[in-house]
Amino acid sequence: MDASNEYDLVIRGGTLVTAGDGFAADLAVRDGRIAAIGEALPAGREEIDAAGLLVLPGGVDAHCHIDEPPYGGAYLADDFRSASRSAACGGTTTIVPFANQLPGRPLRAAVEDYHRRAEGNALIDYAFHLIVSDPTTSLLGQELPALIEEGYTSFKVFMTYAGYQLEDPAILDLLALTRREGALLMVHAENGHCVHWQSQRLAAAGDTGLAAHGRAAPPLVEREATHRAIALAELAGARVLLVHVSSAEALEQIRWGQDRGLPVLAETCPQYLLSGQDDLEKPGWEAAKFLCSPPPRGADDAEALWRGLAQGAFQLASSDHCPYRLEGPEGKRSQGEELHFQKVPPGVPGLETRLPLLFHEGVQRGRLSLQQFVALTATNPARIYGLYPRKGGLAVGGDADIALWDPARRVTIRHADLHDACDYTPYEGREVEGWPVLTLSRGERVWERGEGERGRVSEAYGRGRFLARTRERAATAP
Ligand SMILES: [Zn+2]
């Protein structure tokens, strides 16, 4: 055989799983791409025996916070090195964090700054969403359309948070722009006025512990904002994507919109499926490990969210990785030692544990099929955010981004075995069945399970590439 036609790598005897299928086949890699899928493929320069293993598209984590500017004095623990390493060790091969516009600053400056943070550091490929906090006339007229053209095709806005909260007219302007430009608006849907009013009332009554976070932002503030975001999108004739949905009531609104035929997309995250208000009631700083916004709710909400995943109301399951360290003065304690729901910054880490948790709690417990698991964690995010078929599938010609998955591997999750730069996981001590044994990014081994629990991580920081994304030309159906 002509050496140039020889495969670099053949993964032999595994079960390939995509969003639509599962079948036994060999998979061959050449020049970083999937070159062939079939039976009894010719030998590669390197061979991997995948008997008993699943060959999955590498995960696409389309909601994570990495090395953003500090918020209220709190710094994210992960830079692109530690975050991309941690993602790779959990079977994720593409991350889409946020270039965050500081209020009053140009968005372009945020994007350029964010490229400087990523370049030379990422172990896997990455794209950027934008966060828009200050939609000026020039941002709407020139800056944002130019950035969309360059491949930053989605951006997030907040309906809450001082400094970031946008009012309805600004959100309508941005929705109309996404329709015109084929981009996608992501919305953090909580009614910030209600949260503020309720927080003041709780604080005045001395109800300031971390458990009050759930009372300051009850499901109705998410329900109202979710409904409003859908209505604004309907008025503007645009698609809308509700991020990190936490409650059954918000999910009802999403279904209501989808049942009317509106192009409403939605995401939820492991913390809303596996944590709850009872975790916020744990003693001392233990509760801070579960503090995120929106707050985790009750068991009934979690079960409703699982049904929403299984029934297709949600298209995405992302981590919303937001790593504030528990110890030291820069993270959860950045406002001091007081366990006050308005002082401890919200956010939980989850890049590395996202796929194993969803696999165990979803697939192993019969809530999701393997195909749904792949769709929610890899294929749909790639499709929705303009990375498919290069990422998120097992198509010949696509990048050889693969998680070789051992469905029988039992792991007790311990932060000491994870690879992020945070100092805890909310899932400490939880047992899961199913973990990757090898992660390939464009055909290169970025992580493999060695003898020790932490495995062997590639040192090739900087090999990860920026991905410019395509836009939605027919800006209608999800
Ligand atoms: Zn987030």
Q: What is the mean pLDDT of each run of 10 residues along the chain (478 residues)?
A: 76 98 98 97 97 98 96 94 98 98 90 98 98 95 97 98 95 98 98 98 98 98 98 98 98 98 98 98 98 97 98 98 97 97 97 98 98 98 97 98 97 96 98 97 94 81 97 56
Q: Cα of 66 to ligand 1 centre, how many Å?
A: 10
Q: Cα of 323 to ligand 1 centre, how many Å?
A: 11
Q: Cα of 463 to ligand 1 centre, how many Å?
A: 25
Beta-strand pair 7-17/22-30: antiparallel
Long-range Cβ contact pairs of 145-152 (< 8 A, separation 24 or more): 145/177, 145/181, 147/107, 147/108, 147/111, 148/181, 148/182, 148/183, 148/471, 149/181, 150/468, 151/127, 151/386, 151/467, 151/468, 151/469, 151/470, 152/99, 152/111, 152/127, 152/128, 152/468, 152/469
- Tell how many helices (H) and how many strands (E) occur in the chain: 15, 18
Q: Cα of 132 to ligand 1 centre, how many Å?
A: 13
Cα 467 to Cα 469: distance, rounded to the nearest angstrom? 6
Residue 40's pLDDT is what?
94
Cα 430 to Cα 413: distance, rounded to the nearest angstrom? 5
Task: Answer yes or no: are the C-beta atoms of 378 and 369 closer than 8 Å.
Answer: no
Dihedral angle over CA of 455, 55, 311, 413, nearest 10: -10
Cα 303 to Cα 375: distance, rounded to the nearest angstrom? 20
In the three-class reduction of DSSP (H, G, I as helix; E, B as strand; rest coil), residue 406 is classed as strand
Mind giving me the DSSP string for 306-367?
Answer: HHHHHHTS--EE---B----SSSTTTTTTT-S---TTTSPP-B--TTTHHHHHIIIIIITTS
Q: Cα of 270 to ligand 1 centre, how many Å?
A: 13
Q: Count Cβ neighbours within 10 Å for each residue of 435-453 and write b for 16 or more, e otherwise.
A: bbbbbbbbbbbbbbbeeee
Residue 452's pLDDT is what?
64
Q: Cα of 2 to ligand 1 centre, how many Å?
A: 49
Q: Cα of 244 to ligand 1 centre, how many Å?
A: 7
Specify the domain boundaries for CATH 3.20.20.140 within the chain. 58-384
Q: Cα of 295 to ligand 1 centre, how many Å?
A: 12
Q: Cα of 98 to ligand 1 centre, how many Å?
A: 9
Q: Cα of 35 to ligand 1 centre, how many Å?
A: 36
Closest CA to 131 of 105, 100, 176: 100
Q: Cα of 303 to ligand 1 centre, how many Å?
A: 22
Q: Count Cβ neighbours within 10 Å for each residue of 350-385 and write b for 16 or more, e otherwise.
A: bbbbbbbbbbbbbbeeebbebbbbbbbbbbbbbbbb
Q: Cα of 65 to ligand 1 centre, how many Å?
A: 6
Residue 195's pLDDT is what?
98
Residue 106: cis peptide before it, omega within 30 degrees of 0: no
Residue 475's pLDDT is what?
44
Q: Give the CATH H-level superfamily of domain 3-56+393-408+432-457.
A: Urease, subunit C, domain 1 (2.30.40.10)
Q: Cα of 133 to ligand 1 centre, how many Å?
A: 14
Q: Among all chains, which residue has been given the structure tokens 């709190």?
A: 74
Residue 1's pLDDT is what?
46
Query: Which helix H or strand E contains 198, and what residues bound it?
Result: helix 192-204
Q: What single-letter DSSP state applies at residue 99?
A: E
Strand partners of residue 22: 17
Q: Cα of 310 to ligand 1 centre, how many Å?
A: 23
Q: Cα of 74 to ligand 1 centre, how many Å?
A: 15
Closest CA to 228 of 256, 248, 261, 247: 256
Q: Cα of 63 to ligand 1 centre, how many Å?
A: 6
- Neighbouring CB atoms inside 10 A of 478's CB total 18
Q: Cα of 4 to ligand 1 centre, how many Å?
A: 44
Specify the domain boundaries for CATH 2.30.40.10 within the chain. 3-56+393-408+432-457
* The token pair that represents 246 in the structure block: 């936490």
Q: Cα of 76 to ligand 1 centre, how many Å?
A: 12
Q: At 384, give phi and psi (nearest 5°).
A: -65, -35
Please return the burial class of 118, using the count of CB atoms within 10 Å of its CB with bins 0-12, 13-18 and 19+: buried
Q: What single-letter DSSP state applies at residue 142?
A: I
Ligand 1 ion local residues (Cβ < 5 A): 320
In the three-class reduction of DSSP (H, G, I as helix; E, B as strand; rest coil), residue 460 is classed as coil
Task: Answer yes or no: are the C-beta atoms of 351 and 79 closer than 8 Å.
Answer: no
Q: Cα of 178 to ligand 1 centre, how many Å?
A: 20
Looking at CATH, the fold of the domain delimited by 58-384 is given as TIM Barrel (3.20.20)
Q: Cα of 80 to ligand 1 centre, how many Å?
A: 16
